[in-house]
Structure 1
């Protein structure tokens, strides 16, 4: 509601000088105008309860505006009757003052300036600042003891209460959506945790030893045009990279070794897809220089090939696979197109040959168990983080829903109603 206009005359104590004569008028929306006169001081100040987004539902701080008028003004516009302190006109405002604990000094911010007629803002001198702060302390202290203070706060809060309620509703919806997403992520992480635990509990299966018998494989390009054949021999079932097999390849302008295993850079506990390391790999990744790197079309190639899934793997697809020509230990560039095409044909043929092994399931389990312990620890850390974030999101949603209800109570009734709503929902 709007308070009844009321004007009183009073004298306010002012530190360091005589009393400050003031004419105090209650305005609409909880504003109170103080027209003050004193030694080296004259002008108008407005005390305005602050109803801020994210602040208290019932305003608990005030701002002091220098000059009269309820409408906003531009950065370079004066307000009527701005205070003049020691001959300096004070422009702007100072926010965030707790009327029950008024600061003792140094609380004027950058919004309190001297706006000159040439539209230049000047900082206030120390003397002007100290006197202005003394006046504000006296004015706000008087405001805090007004008998209709509660009515002023209610009058300031009610016009924006519905708008504030909608803002809190939007924040609550956002927090609830985040909580739902985090709950779904927790469900996925728990399922992965159970699967990893099951993998670790399974009895390992011994892969078959390497078979040195040569096998001839046909190569085709991505259009299924023949590209000759290669002879493939198994060199080792790797213990350095569990679940992988090292092959030596000769023929059709290809010579060298390739290490084949399962693609492990995916979140699935049981690794699928295919990983190929060019050369004899001693570790799964970041192995920059490998022994017996293959030569294709006379070009030595290096690097890795990762295929996420095998459902589309054929002798002709995927059409390309990366091949790199080394220029230093850690640098290189792409192989020529013809070399890349032949390397891709070899990789596809080797991948199909690897997947056709009778012990493919044992190799896959070996790769999974090699990674399961670290993946299990990482998943547990992820679950702890997700649980903490989920609880925080739920608490935020509940907090904003509570504030929404309080603002709606304030919009419907009075500040006392909103306070009672706070008590009932605490």
Structure 2
């Protein structure tokens, strides 16, 4: 036959001369302690369970549940034998996170309500609340002094150990993956920092002089011919890696500056950066780009150079009118004509015979700034590496401790 938990009878002192009669039943299989309580104007059952205050494996607090049955107390769901105080039935819990502070009433968070019809709740009246809180303090103090309290706490810890072990294992795996990713990032940024230092300490490769004027074919995004334009290089490697093109054609005049992508992750940048409608620093050959009689301003940054053709990409960032007071949008035909011009120029820039030298020139100019940036990133990554390494020590210990508690 299954073993029935033993019940101890006694009485607890209440404030003043009051006595609280209790019948205490502890369950070695669940870690719960059931208190059947009786005093003048008070009758019912309270169940005390070990309570995990923070994230510890061994509970250090206690939670008292009003009414019979296993935790938790669910909102708006009455439990059998809930305490009736001065004719009022109370539903809820009381929690003590610091048992060492008892019998200080401020150490207990009392969360009790009166359930009415249709699950409506109201606060417990002051007289009933004072009576119930005194009983709760007495019960919690008694539970804290139980000779088998540690065994009850151990039972509760063992019951929650499987879930704790699963959480620790999952967190451990996530943290190990984060550390591996951080280590890979450190290697990548260290290689970039080294490359930046090499670039800063060596002279750049000379670039070719400005080429003669040439005519470029234009294409729409379907690859169909859209006419042509005359292109002349008005400045090369000013600023580093940038070529400024003067363009002329049907309903077309002005300048466009093209250089490597300004935010490339690699020390030697790839991609392109297109600027039109404004002068580049140190370059006084630029003038407004006029397409179909509309003066335009704008920019286009593209992170890679391998996918650029005279008809790809189909859409580019929309331009704006150079006139700051203009409100009318740029016509669609003007945008399409502009995009054909920019795609042709970007493709022409990428096929320059000295494109590698231009990218290296940009890399040399950016090397000191990029080197400082890489050092800052490496500092942050190494700090993160240290935090994750320390966290892994604690997680492995927690996994071992929770595994040791498994039944």
Q: What is the TM-score with the length of structure 1 in the denominator?
A: 0.82
Q: Give the superposition deviation at 1:277.
A: 0.7
Q: Do residues 190 (structure 1) and 190 (structure 2) align?
A: yes
The match for 2:376 is 381
Q: Do residues 149 (structure 1) and 173 (structure 2) align?
A: no
**Cα-to-partner distance string for 1:271-300 (whole Å, 9 max, x where unaligned):** 12222111343359xxxxx96221122232
The match for 1:48 is 49
The match for 1:415 is none
Contact between 1:92 and 1:112, CA under 8 Å: does it hold in 2? Answer: yes
Q: Do residues 235 (structure 1) and 265 (structure 2) align?
A: no
Q: Distance in 1 between matches of 2:140 and 2:328?
A: 72
Contact between 2:277 and 2:322, CA under 8 Å: does it hold in 1? Answer: no
The match for 2:319 is 324
The match for 2:257 is 259
Contact between 2:97 and 2:108, CA under 8 Å: does it hold in 1? Answer: no
What secondary structure does 1:363 align onto? helix
What secondary structure does 1:217 align onto? strand
Q: How do residues 296-307 of structure 1 correspond to structure 2 at under 5 angstroms?
A: 296-307=291-302
Q: Give the superposition deviation at 1:179.
A: 2.0
Q: Do residues 58 (structure 1) and 58 (structure 2) align?
A: yes
Q: Give the superposition deviation at 1:371.
A: 2.9
What secondary structure does 1:272 align onto? coil
* Cα distance change on mapping 1:112 and 1:291 into 2, 3 Å: farther
The match for 1:420 is none
The CA RMSD over aligned residues, in Å, is 3.2
Q: How do residues 124-139 of structure 1 correspond to structure 2 at under 5 angstroms?
A: 124-139=124-139
* Cα distance change on mapping 1:143 and 1:4 into 2, 3 Å: farther
Q: Give the superposition deviation at 1:407.
A: 1.8
Gaps of 5+ in 1: 285-289, 413-426
* Cα distance change on mapping 1:195 and 1:409 into 2, 3 Å: same
**Cα-to-partner distance string for 1:169-228 (whole Å, 9 max, x where unaligned):** 12222222222222222222222222222222222456566x4x7502222314655444
Contact between 1:12 and 1:21, CA under 8 Å: does it hold in 2? Answer: yes
Which stretch of the first structure deviates more once superposed, 338-347 or 313-322? 313-322
Q: How do residues 19-418 of structure 1 correspond to structure 2 at under 5 angstroms?
A: 19-27=19-27, 28-50=29-51, 55-70=55-70, 74-102=74-102, 104-106=104-106, 109=109, 111-205=111-205, 207=207, 211=210, 215-222=213-220, 225-237=224-236, 239=238, 241-283=239-281, 292-326=287-321, 329=324, 335-355=330-350, 360-412=355-407
Q: How do residues 5-20 of structure 1 correspond to structure 2 at under 5 angstroms?
A: 5-20=5-20
Q: What is the TM-score with the length of structure 2 in the denominator?
A: 0.85
**Cα-to-partner distance string for 1:244-285 (whole Å, 9 max, x where unaligned):** 23222222331111112111222112112222111343359x
Q: Distance in 1 between matches of 2:67 and 2:194?
A: 68
Runs of 4+, deviation exceeding 6 Å: 330-334
Q: Distance in 2 between matches of 1:250 and 1:8?
A: 102
**Cα-to-partner distance string for 1:384-425 (whole Å, 9 max, x where unaligned):** 22223333333333323322221221124xxxxxxxxxxxxx
Q: Distance in 1 between matches of 2:34 and 2:131?
A: 19
Contact between 2:216 and 2:231, CA under 8 Å: does it hold in 1? Answer: no
**Cα-to-partner distance string for 1:310-337 (whole Å, 9 max, x where unaligned):** 2343445445544513276499887444
Gaps of 5+ in 2: none
Q: Distance in 1 between matches of 2:34 and 2:175?
A: 41
Q: Give the superposition deviation at 1:352.
A: 4.4
Q: Distance in 2 between matches of 1:238 and 1:280?
A: 17
What secondary structure does 2:64 align onto? strand
* Cα distance change on mapping 1:384 and 1:136 into 2, 3 Å: farther
Q: Distance in 2 between matches of 1:8 and 1:103?
A: 22
What secondary structure does 1:230 align onto? strand
Q: Distance in 2 between matches of 1:319 and 1:119?
A: 62
The number of equivalent residue pairs is 402
What secondary structure does 1:411 align onto? coil
